[in-house]
Amino acid sequence: QLQLQESGPGLVKPSETLSLTCSVSGGSISSHTYYWGWIRQPPGKGLEYIGFVSYSGGTYYSPSLKSRLTISVDSSKNQFTLSLISVTATDTALYYCGRLGSYLSEVDWGQGTLVTVSS
Amino acid sequence: QTVVTQEPSLTVSPGGTVTLTCASNTGAVTSAYYPAWFQQKPGQAPRALIYSTSNKHSWTPARFSGSLLGGKAALTLSDVQPEDESDYYCVLYYGATWVFGGGTKLTVL
């Protein structure tokens, strides 16, 4: 059974880079069938799509975050990472990593990790 | 900027039927937007219910159904149960990205 586990700092200073890792177990990140990426949810607010990538290199980023965002896959560690530069308080959120099938025919999420942007 | 709009809140009685909708500021929602629906309860990750307009996941109760209605994507809950009280989110595909709606808080009362 697929399991996804987010990890990374819970506190990031404004203007710095938010980096999170999603470790994948029970499945291979090298599969060409799936997309790997992130959504987030600010406290008390709705879901926001961040972006997903395919193992073959296709990127599907939110236009509003694209200029600050990099999602990369590391097949040797069976994990993928999120890097968001120049963060502000508006980037404070619960971040979920996920695996998506084509057009959301399959959806798996991690448990989520809270990241707070504050000095 | 692409905006996906849902009813902020709806209330339904147990056993009743309710329809949640999902609209796009770019025009009518069609199957080409591959509408999907998620249910999220407090403290939990969102759970996928419907994909590609009307397809159910294996765990989706039969009382949930997806459709296109009047230029919007729609999620209809029939014979609503108390455990259906939750936040519901739609998401639409825009070619190279997905956009979530703001969510509907469904109260069963």
- Give the pLDDT confidence score for residue B68 in this predicted structure: 98
Q: Hey, what are A5's tokens?
A: 């586990």
Question: Which of A45, A52, A60, A104 to mutate to test binding with chain B, by most B CBs within 10 Å of its CB?
Answer: A104
Q: Kindly give the parts of chain B with pLDDT less than 50.
A: none
pLDDT at A71 over 90: yes
Helices assigned H by DSSP within chain A: none
pLDDT digits (tens, 9 = 90+) for A7-65: 999 999 999 999 999 999 999 999 889 999 999 999 999 999 999 999 888 999 999 99
Token pair 């586990």 is at which residue?
A: A5
- Give the pLDDT confidence score for residue A56 in this predicted structure: 86
pLDDT digits (tens, 9 = 90+) for A79-91: 999 999 999 999 9
Interface of A with B in 1-60 (CB under 8 A): 39, 46-49, 51, 60
The terminus-to-terminus CA distance of chain B in angstroms comes to 36
B34: left (phi over 0), alpha (psi -120 to 50) or beta: left
Question: Which of A41, A54, A64, A103 to mutate to test binding with chain B, by most B CBs within 10 Å of its CB?
Answer: A103
- Give the pLDDT confidence score for residue A72 in this predicted structure: 95
Q: Hey, what are A3's tokens?
A: 């399991």
**Chain A hits for B38, Cβ within 8 Å:** 47, 107
